[in-house]
Amino acid sequence: MAFFVSCSNSSDDTVTPPVDRSLELIGNWDAIGYTIEGNTTTIINSDESFVTIFEGIGFEMNHFLSFSDGPRTFSNQGDYRLEVVSLDPDGVPSTQLFFIPVAEDGSWEFNNTNNTLTFMENGEERIVTILELSPTTLKFRTNIDTTVINGNTQVTTSAFEIYTYAWAGN
């Protein structure tokens, strides 16, 4: 039986905490992209169900997201258009166009350890995962999981959204 023991008296053994990247958010960001992808399951009378698959893309992006520090507040204002293509249970496609107004204000927190951003508005929290944060780009993903019951019909939606912003300055 062999034992290997390693000891070090080096000052290089210190653990460096992660760099706080939250300050990289401070300033103004212009929306340049939005996508959504998911499905909706509808159950009627607990025995009849069907699934609709959908995906959408935003265009005519006319909104911005601003972050400030001290206090940490955000403002997301403007609008965009959304084209959603759905496939019904028989595979028949349909296209819908939506006008999406954006008006959100609240506070924010950045979790450096798991790379998430929490938006807080009117007591509601929305946690998003940062996919990219660079001097020119902010990109994050958020999940949607909802169930609505109306009488004997239950509609469950499961989707994810990806928002992309370009740095617009301070």
- Amino acid, single-letter form, for residue 45: N
Q: What pLDDT sits at residue 119? A: 96
Show me where the domains of the chain are located. Answer: 25-169
Q: What is the pTM of this model?
A: 0.83
What pLDDT, in 10s, does the model give residues 108-153? 999 988 899 999 999 999 999 999 999 999 999 999 999 999 999 9
Q: Please give the structure tokens belonging to residue 14.
A: 């210190």
Q: What pLDDT sits at residue 4? A: 43
Mean pLDDT of 76-95: 94
